[in-house]
A and B are shown apart, each in its own frame.
Chain A
Amino acid sequence: MKIELTNTIDRNIISEDISFKLMLADGILSLFTPLFYEEIRKKQGQFKRNVLDIKQLKQNILDAKLKIKKLNFLISKEKIKDEVLNEIDYLVGVDVIYGSNRQLIRNILITLDKQTSNDLKKNLEVLRGIIKNKIKNK
């Protein structure tokens, strides 16, 4: 092992002794370890920021999933509305609507946007029943 002289080390204390090597190694370590700590501290900061980012992203995705759920519900309702309107369109196309049927269709059209999915489904069944009867009676 080659020993190099520096200005900071007294020429007289340099020796081949283990104790001197240990002292030298200890000096070097104490000089450089703060640099390693600093790097670790920086990395820990980055890790903390990553954890926060993950938390934020998870929340964003959760919110988006709720939005998808709401949109799917809205679309399913619009699809039932579409079916109801198509049945009414069929009825209006094949016959003159009058009496209780006319009143029913009128009520359905007026309250169409306020009806719940269940109400829309019930009305759809009623309209299909009317169509079946009309087909039977023909």
Chain B
Amino acid sequence: MSTTNNDTVRNDEQIKNKSGDVNKFYDWLKIYLEKDKFNLFKARSKLEINRKIEVTNTRIQKLIDLKIKVKAEIDRLISTAKLLKSKNFELKEELSKKLDINNEN
């Protein structure tokens, strides 16, 4: 009877140990999968490439904004240049007429 009891205790102990091993393995696997410790799921690579894409997207947006500003500035300068040219052309024509320059040699 005593031997049987001892066997049962040993079996329980073995099951407990085995169960403990399985739980340890489960915990390890959980960390392994969640943190992708060995980069098997490329989680770190994915994070890194996502960060790179985010940085480049921000840079692209800034450059697009700058391009829009520069384009607006070009349009403004073209308009100013046209206005000045037209004004100068008219004044030059008027002065040439006043001084009768076109009819001189």
Report how far A56 CA is from B95 CA in the complex, Å: 48
Are B96 and A54 within 8 A (Cβ)? no
Q: Contacts A40-B42, A97-B99 given: A57-B92 contact, CB under 8 Å?
A: no
Residues on A with beta carbons closer than 8 Å to the beta carbon of B40: 29, 33
Chain B stretch 76-97: residues in CB contact (< 8 A) with chain A: 77-78, 80-81, 84-85, 87-88, 91-92, 94-96
Q: Does B22 belong to the interface (CB within 8 Å)?
A: yes
Residues on B with beta carbons closer than 8 Å to the beta carbon of A116: none
Query: Which single member of B46, B88, B96 contacts A43 (CB below 8 Å)?
Result: B46
Are B95 and A33 within 8 A (Cβ)? no
Query: Which single member of B59, B70, B85 contacts A78 (CB below 8 Å)?
Result: B85
Report how far A110 CA is from B80 CA in the complex, Å: 24
Q: Does A115 belong to the interface (CB within 8 Å)?
A: no
Q: Interface of chain B, helix or strand or loop or mixed?
A: helix
Q: Does A23 belong to the interface (CB within 8 Å)?
A: no
Q: Does A127 belong to the interface (CB within 8 Å)?
A: no
Are A82 and B88 within 8 A (Cβ)? yes
Residues on A with beta carbons closer than 8 Å to the beta carbon of B29: 21, 25
Report how far A134 CA is from B63 CA in the complex, Å: 56
Are B84 and A82 within 8 A (Cβ)? yes
Are A68 and B74 within 8 A (Cβ)? yes
Are B63 and A71 within 8 A (Cβ)? no
Interface residues on chain A, number (Cβ under 8 Å): 48
Are A64 and B46 within 8 A (Cβ)? no
Give the nearest-CB partner of B89 in chain A: A113
Nearest CB on B from A27, distance (A): 13
Q: Contacts A18-B21, A92-B98, A112-B92 given: A57-B63 contact, CB under 8 Å?
A: yes
If A51-B56, A85-B88 are given as contacts, then 8 extra A-B residue pairs at C-beta distance below 8 Å, sorted by A number, are: A1-B23, A40-B46, A43-B50, A60-B67, A64-B74, A75-B77, A106-B104, A112-B92
Q: Which 5 A-B pairs have the closest CB atoms?
A: A50-B56, A78-B84, A57-B63, A71-B77, A64-B70
26 chain-A/chain-B pairs, Cβ below 8 angstroms: A1-B26, A16-B18, A37-B42, A40-B46, A47-B49, A47-B52, A50-B56, A50-B59, A57-B67, A58-B63, A60-B67, A61-B63, A65-B70, A68-B74, A68-B77, A74-B81, A75-B81, A78-B85, A82-B88, A82-B91, A85-B91, A85-B95, A89-B94, A92-B99, A102-B99, A112-B88
